[in-house]
Structure 1
């Protein structure tokens, strides 16, 4: 278990850290442990939350199996055993989801800012953004917000110095070397280059978020007319 560290999150959660970099190999280990815990939960486990390079495991201290160990020590022991077993987990093929996006104009107010920052045309920015496939590394910030890895570094752009108080639902933004999609209206400081008409998060659904960690996202450009006439019934193209 070289390179793997553990640390508590209060008295009801433990985080397992696999490293500090954002890369496919580390995230594969994250997802293997996540999937194993979901398939074979231990007594008292409540939730498992994957991120770029960590897995946080939430538990109820009074519902753990009775042992002489302190709850934290017991959880660490359980997780170490799970880590020994996790390499046997075979990850399912990632689900590929196409997200329609209308770039620029009223839907992408920061597209020109990003283009000027890199001394490129807006068409170049759109092309670089479209020509990548993106992996969903984690869901966070607000419910259903996907952090997407794999963006072309040629369009990496710092966040806004002053965040907006309200970013519209569906806005697609760039924050540093990442791109992401705002699933609900919320404050935010990412550079907004476009918007999708899809509703990525619906709290009343059995599965509220369309996207999950491990999914693959592809963007497909649509016009303003196509955006405005989107029927809202589809989840992807």
Structure 2
């Protein structure tokens, strides 16, 4: 681990050079210990793929003394850390149907797979929460299978529907609310991912495992999912045009 100053009251703790399930586990294990040991001086902790940004109250303690406290807390974490596979599992239902898989055709052309294959590959992988950001409840999940890697859209959408499941490069994510976005949309979950009763406002936790379970349209609607009239019409037009993802 390496500790580097960011500014006069922030330090970055680096755990690795690249994201991995092991690094995600490590960061998840360290966070509560940093909270406990640094609480008196702590302003914020922001975990990410391979690091934690630690912001402290400069009026209460200097950077040198606070760095020493971080090192002490990390030493305690090292003594307590046991590498296990005990990360919580979050299972989310997803409808991958034509009304909501807005970029299915693009993905099929890019990967040279049919959409049923893409669904199977995507849903068979267990992902890890590597970071939470961009918007409350937006979790960056990795890593996707290399067969379904795809770049972000060249021109982002002005509005991505709430609950949209998306791909970009080696990652997958769900838009927790309607917002602009440039990821490739392949499905939608009916589950509300924002939870205002939680400290981090979301059902996701750093290091948690995430698995997607395909459901049909009736199940999606029964769970509270919504499909707009224009989405039904768009799906009918795509079906009439025999899109790539329906061709055997």
* Pairwise TM-score range, normalised by the shorter structure: 0.7 to 0.9
SS in 2 for 1:15: strand
Structure 2 unmatched runs, 5+: 226-248
Distance in 2 between residues matched to 1:118 and 1:206, nearest whole Å? 38
Q: Paired residue for 1:40, among 37, 41, 56?
A: 37
Q: Deviations over 1:32-90 (max 9, x none)?
A: 321211233342112222111001112111123xxxxxx22222222122222211234
Matches of residues 133-172 of structure 1 in structure 2 within 5 Å?
133-172=126-165
Tell me, yes or no, if the aligned pair for 1:103 and 1:111 is still in contact at 8 Å. Answer: no
The structure-2 alpha-carbon separation of the partners of 1:72 and 1:40, relative to structure 1 and needing over 3 Å to count, comes to: closer
TM-score normalised by the chain length of structure 2: 0.83
How many Å apart are 1:122 and its aligned residue? 0.5
Q: Paired residue for 1:77, among 55, 65, 68?
A: 68
Q: Deviations over 1:206-229 (max 9, x none)?
A: 452111112111111111222122
Tell me, yes or no, if the aligned pair for 2:2 and 2:15 is still in contact at 8 Å. Answer: yes
Distance in 2 between residues matched to 1:31 and 1:229, nearest whole Å? 34
Q: Deviations over 1:106-142 (max 9, x none)?
A: 2110122111101110111000001111111221111
TM-score normalised by the chain length of structure 1: 0.87
Tell me, yes or no, if the aligned pair for 2:161 and 2:179 is still in contact at 8 Å. Answer: yes
SS in 2 for 1:108: coil
Distance in 1 between residues matched to 2:205 and 2:80, nearest whole Å? 18
Matches of residues 9-88 of structure 1 in structure 2 within 5 Å?
9-64=6-61, 71-88=62-79
Q: Paired residue for 1:115, among 108, 113, 121?
A: 108
Distance in 2 between residues matched to 1:16 and 1:80, nearest whole Å? 10
Structure 1 unmatched runs, 5+: 65-70, 233-237
Superposition CA RMSD, Å? 1.8
Tell me, yes or no, if the aligned pair for 1:44 and 1:62 is still in contact at 8 Å. Answer: no
* 1:183 counterpart = 2:176: yes
Q: Residue 68 of structure 1 corresponds to which residue in structure 2?
A: none
Tell me, yes or no, if the aligned pair for 2:90 and 2:210 is still in contact at 8 Å. Answer: yes
Tell me, yes or no, if the aligned pair for 2:153 and 2:182 is still in contact at 8 Å. Answer: yes
